Amino acid sequence: MKKNHVVLLLHCPDQKGIVLEVSKFLVAHQCNILELDQYTDLENNHFFMRVKFDKGDVELSEKLLESSFEETVAEKCTMKWRMYFCGKPWRVALFVTKLSHCIYDILQRYRSNEWDIEIPLIISNHDKLAYIAEQFDIPYHVFPITKENKLEQEAKELALLKENDIDFVVLARYMQVLTDDFIGHYPNKIINIHHSSLPAFPGSKPYHSAYRRGVKIIGATSHFVTADLDAGPIIAQDITKISHTDSVQDLIRKGRDLEKTVLSEAIWLKLEHKILSFKNKTIVFR
């Protein structure tokens, strides 16, 4: 995001005049709309909007803009909303286990400034990928997880996340199930990559299941993590075609390319403030 650019994400029960109220507010504050996307969920009678605007060079404090919006627009329409200002980049924590394809894909984008983020730490239940953290000079914290110590270890992880002021968490093929309590600390702020086209083949060995069933496509799904395993709101999905000649190992190999692309797409959408969640589904403005 460029200096002076602001993204406003909002949703509320549908009613006449929402666009008018928002645009009146923007003109009153001498803001210029750059992008406006709107969606009405007719089934639930609910209104969603994303506006990207340029607030110009006028001295206009972020706090003031926010409180003014709350008073003149949001209250009236019982909106849930948030403004994202250009400025300090989001702080992202990566969780990994043993597979390196997603983490390298993310770190390449990070290091080449494709994404304007900070990655202050990497957390793992295994030391296998410590060398990557070292290559990129990022602190790497290992918390081996057992049934017995999970809550305890998660408490330490949460402390680290708070301490590092983490905005959202990416599970880059992290092979542990998080507890509901952990997830509750980061609602719609934990993005996972699942290695199948959910709802097909949830669980831990989707490529083996796909092979057994003899499907002709394999997929990957990025989604927000909720208490319900592999059932959170889906952000992005893609597939690749396979054939009888592909062994399980081939599926795993081909799947990796999907996984990294589909995970990075979700992260990008999150960074661009293009995702809203509602009733276990996502609205993804393009």
Summarize as ranges the residues that interact with a copy of itself (CB under 8 A): 16-20, 23-24, 26-27, 30, 32-42, 99-101, 104-105, 107-109, 111-112, 114, 135-136, 197-201, 213-217, 219, 233-239, 241, 243-245, 247, 253, 256-257, 261, 264, 280-284, 286
230 in active site: yes
Judged by beta carbon, residue 123 or residue 269, the one nearer a copy of itself is 269
Tokens, residue 189? 């702020």
Least distance to a copy of itself, CB of residue 100, Å: 5
> Tell me, what DSSP letter sits at residue 178?
P
Tokens, residue 114? 């494709």
Judged by beta carbon, residue 79 or residue 107, the one nearer a copy of itself is 107
Cα 198 to the center of its chain, rounded Å: 17
Residues in a beta bridge with 137: none
Least distance to a copy of itself, CB of residue 142, Å: 19
Catalytic residue among 230, 246, 250, 257: 230
Longest CA pairwise span in the chain (Å): 64
Least distance to a copy of itself, CB of residue 202, Å: 10
Least distance to a copy of itself, CB of residue 210, Å: 9
Residues in the chain: 286
Judged by beta carbon, residue 40 or residue 179, the one nearer a copy of itself is 40
Look at strands 234-241 and 217-224 and give their pairing. Answer: antiparallel
Give φ, ψ of 99 to 5 degrees: -95, 135
Q: Count CA within 13 A, CB hemisphere, residue 242.
A: 24
